[in-house]
Amino acid sequence: MVGRRWWTPWLWLAPALVLLGVFLVYPVVDTIRRSFLDERSKNFVGFDNYQFIIDNPQPLVSDTHSALLNNVMWLTLFTVITVCLGLILAVLTGRVRYEAVAKSTIFIPMAVSFVAASVIWRFMYEFNTEIGTVNATVTSLGGEPTAWLQDTGAPQTWLTQRGPDTLPQPIQINNLALILVGVWMWTGFAMVVLSAGLKGISTEVLEAARVDGANEWQIFRRIIVPILSPTIVVVATTLVIQGLKKFDLVWVMTGGRFKTDVVATLFYKEAFRIGDFGVGAALAVVLLLWVLPVMVIGIRRFQFQEETR
């Protein structure tokens, strides 16, 4: 027999490793390197670029504080709303007769190009009531049109207390409008994955609970949710990462203007629009450090599931 040489597995791995190296490892290392260099990546500036993010010296053109807070908004609201809606829809669609039709309808936004969906929603939110469906509905019910994508005000008066002077108000009408579009796109995904998990719960368990006299709410709360919790975590981590790296939707709908910038749009703007590669790279590194723990949790969880299978 022609023996297996030690390098045989490496040979088969090589294409993947080369691709990973060129398109992942090298850019990451280079981004970290550039985050310590000046705007043209020539001179070493230490932690100046990170200081820029903390000090926020140019609040008009690159509001770093607002971008970080908006990312927190995306992270929490987007994830929580999408998971909850997805779970409710998974349970409900499992009980209707036209399950396939209902699920496909909810899943369709996921199949639309995100940029196309963003363009569509720009029209939906348009201020001019002859174009904007949302404002046309509002005015036909007797309300005043709202500039959904430009209004930085808080949606409710009880939320209008401002934070400290240097911090922007995180809960803005336009941020919520953007996040709702994200929810619209991703609910289908959450529903489908959770629904698959739901189908995996054996009917004996549910029937046993019913025999014991549990009502539907108790079954949902005490049995379905705990059994589904590993799946929920997987869905939630995916959504958290999506929320953190959100770019397309914000860029197409507002261009990050009117205080809707998130870290991903801001680093693109800094690096490529303004031409400051230092600050751009530093923002990218901040985003990477932020995503990293979430990814680790996600992968751990996945491995744990694989082992217990």
Closest CA to 120 of 77, 181, 177, 78: 181
Angstrom distance (rounded) from CA 152 to CA 159: 13
Q: Residues 76, 104, 128, 305: which binds another protein (CB under 8 A)?
A: 128
Residue 65 interacts with another protein (CB under 8 A): yes or no? no
Closest CA to 129 of 114, 142, 118: 142
- Spatial CB neighbours of 221, under 8 Å, sequence gap ≥ 6: none
37 φ/ψ angles, rounded to the nearest 5 degrees: -110, 170
Q: Residues 274, 288, 291, 297: which binds another protein (CB under 8 A)?
A: 274
Angstrom distance (rounded) from CA 58 to CA 75: 25
Q: Residues 45, 72, 124, 147: which binds another protein (CB under 8 A)?
A: 147
User: Half-sphere exposure of residue 104, counting CA atoms within 13 Å on the CB side?
Assistant: 4
Q: Residues 3, 57, 200, 213: which binds another protein (CB under 8 A)?
A: 57
Q: DSSP string spanning 112-169?
A: S-HHHHHHHHHHHT-SSTTT-HHHHHHHHTT-----TTT--S-SSGGG----STTSPP
Binding mask 184-223 for another protein (x = CB under 8 A): ----------------------------------------
Closest CA to 260 of 71, 54, 53: 71
Q: Residues 38, 48, 151, 248: which binds another protein (CB under 8 A)?
A: 151
Closer residue to another protein in complex, CB, 153/230: 153
Binding mask 228-267 for another protein (x = CB under 8 A): -----------------------x--xxxxx---------
Closer residue to another protein in complex, CB, 98/272: 272
- Spatial CB neighbours of 183, under 8 Å, sequence gap ≥ 6: 78, 81, 82, 85
Residue 149 interacts with another protein (CB under 8 A): yes or no? yes
Angstrom distance (rounded) from CA 129 to CA 146: 10
Closer residue to another protein in complex, CB, 40/221: 40
Specify the DSSP element, H or E, that contains 209: helix 203-211
Residue 160 interacts with another protein (CB under 8 A): yes or no? no
* Residue 251 Cβ vs another protein, minimum distance, rounded to whole Å: 7
Residue 272 interacts with another protein (CB under 8 A): yes or no? yes
Closest CA to 218 of 210, 207, 230: 210
Scanning 102-110, 121-129, 224-232, 284-292 for contacts with another protein by CB under 8 A, the matching segment is 121-129
Closest CA to 279 of 58, 5, 3: 58
Q: Residues 58, 129, 133, 169: which binds another protein (CB under 8 A)?
A: 58
Q: Residues 50, 121, 269, 283: which binds another protein (CB under 8 A)?
A: 269
Residue 127 interacts with another protein (CB under 8 A): yes or no? yes
Closer residue to another protein in complex, CB, 155/255: 255
Angstrom distance (rounded) from CA 304 to CA 298: 10
Residue 34 interacts with another protein (CB under 8 A): yes or no? no
Scanning 6-14, 90-98, 226-234, 274-282 for contacts with another protein by CB under 8 A, the matching segment is 274-282
30 φ/ψ angles, rounded to the nearest 5 degrees: -65, -35
Q: Residues 81, 93, 198, 276: which binds another protein (CB under 8 A)?
A: 276
Interface with another protein (CB under 8 A): 2, 57-62, 126-128, 146-147, 149-152, 251, 254-258, 269, 272-277
